[in-house]
Chain A
Amino acid sequence: MPRVTTHRLLSSLMNVSTATSAKCFALILPYFACGSRKVRRRYQLKASSDNVLTGSHYLDGNHAAAEGAIAAGCKFFAGYPITPSTEIAERVSRRFPLIGGIFIQMEDELASMGAILGASWGGVKSMSCTSGPGFSLMMENFGLGIMLETPCVLVNVQRGGPSTGLPTLPGQADMMQARWGSHGDYEVIALAPVSPQESFELAIHAFNLSEKYRMPILIMTDECVGHMTEKVVIPPPEEIELVERRYTDKPAGKAWPFELTDDLISPMLPVGKGYKFHITGLTHDERGYPIINAEAQEKNVRRLIDKVNKHVDEIIWIEEKDVEDADIVIMAYGISARVMQPAITKARKEGIKVGQIKMVTVWPFPEKRVRELADKVKALIMVEMNYGQVFLELDRCAAGKCRTYLAGHAGGTVHDPENIYNTIKEAAK
């Protein structure tokens, strides 16, 4: 089931045949991680092209995310130093001069987020990275990005919070902020890599999603994945498929920046081509003109929400293992999806039928799948480094049909697998 989902996802993103996307899947998504990594295919090492450092590397998750962004064609990066995300900015600042990109260290995170929106409207793929406190500062302009429907990618290398919290230690407690952090009502797409390899791949995927759905995409990684160094295999450039920006094919005077289309994703208008369009963070109509009333609000906000909801089956990417006959299904994302492996192995050895779901996309939440499972299993468990954020969604979708458990803690370290095992044992009672 997960494989099929992924193929469909890639096909829909790249408008290529399922066969091609299957090949692509094998190449750019070479494994289903969850602890035991298997590179299914040996890559041919060859000279790097301009942007893509094809070959095997020993990289941490942050450097790998930077390479993914570069491979995806990112040419503008604005950021502000903050532990534990800074290595992304550092890598980009070293790499960009040789590939025609520009890195700018802004005065703060508010400016970083604003600058990547401006650059994106200038026609350049753009990105920023940050961590907890910086993520808070970016939230207002993140909302502008949602409202202006601006493709760009933002990486949050999560650390312990609240406030300054634990700058050098991992956390996963910004997940609800990712979902609701900017004021107002909207939908987001958030990805969570489990390894440096996935940091590379999901950076590319995030850029593809941002262009496809014309919105900012969040990569909600964490300090552990960000600073974990592992083998990262970068495929040759011709095997990395990219989604390019869709611009209107209508002439100036007939095209509007938020034109209503069947798929609810409006083609963008290019700057400097005589469209002389207007866009605003105010509630607006399809022309981009501000309209200050409830009717316009309904249309505008409804479309921002429906744009994601209508495509939720294409967007959601979860990887399931041993779920079909499971009594208990354990769900996790990011580093927690790896840390739970010993606990699952131990429980299964004892005969407890535990299945697992790794959430590559955390938002939108796989509501439909969780509702199906809640009808079939005895218990659902969420493993995350917080005291119940994505768990709340799990619990909501379970709707009392099965028991729900949170294996959570306040962050600062990854889970002790023993504690996850104890939660499984309790769920199995």
Chain B
Amino acid sequence: MSIQVERPAEEKHPKEKLLRMDRIPHIWCPTCGLGTTVTAMASALEQLELDLNNVAVVSGIGCTGRVAGYMKLDSFHTTHGRAIPFALGLQIARPDMKVIVFSGDGDLISIGGNHFIHTARRNVDITVICVNNFIYAMTGGQVAPTTPITARTATSPFGNYEHPFNLPLLAASSGAVYVARWTALHIRRLTTAIKEAITKKGFSFVEVVAPCSTLYARLNKLGTGLDLMRFYHDNSVIKHGADVREVDVDYQSKIVVGKFLDIEKPTYIDCVNDGNKRVFGDKYKPYGGNHGDN
């Protein structure tokens, strides 16, 4: 049964400026956490009052990988796991641009895990937003490196036996300068975190725990997307500055959220410039990309 809603002709989508309206409706399922996450990103960009010409989004493959296709920015939908190296090249070529990687847990942390840790290590000036739904959703709900122990998936039909990654710990220990985690329920806090992450110089990381009602919730009999949002409401524990070693996500237990890390460290390009200036002095020709003079 569908409900027809009469809308006045002049009514516009509130985020129209930041969405490719010619590609809406999107492919995501009803109650997927991506809707609120993309809204939070759009709100963050609006509130920052950035020149939107100077913001680029890079995605990998998967449900979250489709974000690049819906945001009205220079946007790049790359290969599975390789959004970060592509973004690195783009950011180094155009250091004046804000480059945001928006992708999923399987894409960024499993197949792209090596790029994630090394780009954090170098402190390349990009923002990585990882939507963690604990599962490979686009391919039908297989086990991920983030799937909590005992959770059922299409390829862990008797419950997952593997230890999952703790993403904030991984990011922080690899060298990220900003690490936060929120759920798709915490829209305003998430928006603030994305704003801070984009503003931060260096490798900033925001994990968004998000419901996948079609697969994760169904396979684990957790109810609807709304039930998962209610679960986040009842079980999220805000602990700013929490020790990242203690923020593991266990199956259907408390989720520690908050801003865990916000430190200063020279970025990759700063280090390259400083190092070369020490060696070459005035002879050094600093690399600054082409500053849009193309």
Asked if B114 and A115 sit within 8 Å, CB to CB, the answer is no
Task: Mark out the residues of chain A between 265 and 309 whose CB falls within 8 Å of any chain B CB in the assembled complex.
Answer: 270-282, 289-290
A108 to chain B, nearest CB (A): 6
Q: A122 and B69 in contact (CB under 8 A), knowing A107-B115, A114-B79?
A: no
- The interface residues of chain A lying within 8 Å CB-to-CB of B79 are 114, 140-141, 144, 281
Q: In the complex, what distance in Å separates the CA atom of A120 from the CA atom of B92? A: 10
Task: Mark out the residues of chain B between 238 and 294 whose CB falls within 8 Å of any chain A CB in the assembled complex.
Answer: 272, 276, 279-280, 283-290, 292, 294
Instruction: Say what secondary structure dominates the interface of chain A.
Output: mixed
Interface residue A97 (Cβ < 8 Å from any Cβ of B): yes
> B53-61, B162-170, B185-193: which lies at the A interface?
B53-61
Asked if A117 and B86 sit within 8 Å, CB to CB, the answer is yes
Task: Mark out the residues of chain A between 37 and 86 whose CB falls within 8 Å of any chain B CB in the assembled complex.
Answer: 50, 75-76, 78
Asked if A121 and B90 sit within 8 Å, CB to CB, the answer is yes
Asked if B94 and A272 sit within 8 Å, CB to CB, the answer is yes
> B70-78, B129-137, B219-227: which lies at the A interface?
B70-78
- The interface residues of chain B lying within 8 Å CB-to-CB of A122 are 89-94, 97, 289-290
> A98-106, A228-236, A371-379: which lies at the B interface?
A98-106
Interface code B81-103, partner A: CB below 8 Å = 1, 0 otherwise?
A: 11011111111111011000000
Asked if B287 and A102 sit within 8 Å, CB to CB, the answer is yes
Asked if A97 and B76 sit within 8 Å, CB to CB, the answer is no
Asked if B292 and A278 sit within 8 Å, CB to CB, the answer is no
Interface size on A, residues (CB 8 A): 51
- The interface residues of chain A lying within 8 Å CB-to-CB of B44 are none
- The interface residues of chain A lying within 8 Å CB-to-CB of B294 are 123, 245, 247, 270
Asked if A278 and B20 sit within 8 Å, CB to CB, the answer is yes
Interface residue A24 (Cβ < 8 Å from any Cβ of B): no
Asked if B276 and A281 sit within 8 Å, CB to CB, the answer is no
Task: Mark out the residues of chain B between 129 and 187 whose CB falls within 8 Å of any chain A CB in the assembled complex.
Answer: none
Interface residue B194 (Cβ < 8 Å from any Cβ of A): no
Q: In the complex, what distance in Å separates the CA atom of A101 from the CA atom of B82? A: 23
Interface residue B23 (Cβ < 8 Å from any Cβ of A): yes
Interface residue B109 (Cβ < 8 Å from any Cβ of A): no
Asked if A290 and B78 sit within 8 Å, CB to CB, the answer is no
Q: In the complex, what distance in Å separates the CA atom of A198 from the CA atom of B260? A: 55
B195 to chain A, nearest CB (A): 20
A43 to chain B, nearest CB (A): 26
A166 to chain B, nearest CB (A): 27
- The interface residues of chain B lying within 8 Å CB-to-CB of A110 are 81-82, 85, 115
Interface residue A251 (Cβ < 8 Å from any Cβ of B): no
A246 to chain B, nearest CB (A): 11
Asked if A97 and B90 sit within 8 Å, CB to CB, the answer is no
Interface residue B198 (Cβ < 8 Å from any Cβ of A): no
Asked if A118 and B287 sit within 8 Å, CB to CB, the answer is no
Interface residue B118 (Cβ < 8 Å from any Cβ of A): yes
> Of A102, A112, A273, which contacts B53 at CB under 8 A?
A273
What is the interface residue range for chain B against chain A? 35 or more
Interface residue A116 (Cβ < 8 Å from any Cβ of B): yes
Asked if A273 and B292 sit within 8 Å, CB to CB, the answer is yes
Interface residue A124 (Cβ < 8 Å from any Cβ of B): yes
- The interface residues of chain B lying within 8 Å CB-to-CB of A245 are 294
Asked if A126 and B89 sit within 8 Å, CB to CB, the answer is yes
Interface residue B209 (Cβ < 8 Å from any Cβ of A): no
Asked if A271 and B90 sit within 8 Å, CB to CB, the answer is yes
- The interface residues of chain B lying within 8 Å CB-to-CB of A111 are 82, 84-85, 88, 114-115, 118
- The interface residues of chain A lying within 8 Å CB-to-CB of B114 are 107-108, 111
Asked if B74 and A272 sit within 8 Å, CB to CB, the answer is yes
Q: In the complex, what distance in Å separates the CA atom of A115 from the CA atom of B88? A: 6
Asked if A289 and B23 sit within 8 Å, CB to CB, the answer is yes
Asked if A123 and B290 sit within 8 Å, CB to CB, the answer is yes
- The interface residues of chain A lying within 8 Å CB-to-CB of B82 are 110-111, 114, 140-141, 144
Q: In the complex, what distance in Å separates the CA atom of A104 from the CA atom of B40? A: 33
A287 to chain B, nearest CB (A): 8
> Of B53, B115, B288, which contacts A274 at CB under 8 A?
B53
Interface residue A255 (Cβ < 8 Å from any Cβ of B): no
B68, B92, B285: residue with the most chain A Cβ atoms closer than 10 Å: B92
Closest to A50 in B: B285
B92 to chain A, nearest CB (A): 6
Could you name 22 residue pairs across A and B whose Cβ atoms are closer than 8 Å?
A: A97-B284, A98-B284, A100-B286, A107-B118, A110-B85, A111-B82, A114-B89, A115-B85, A118-B87, A121-B93, A122-B90, A123-B290, A124-B290, A126-B89, A126-B93, A144-B78, A144-B79, A271-B74, A271-B90, A271-B97, A272-B54, A280-B76
3 closest residue pairs by CB, A with B: A122-B93, A118-B89, A114-B85
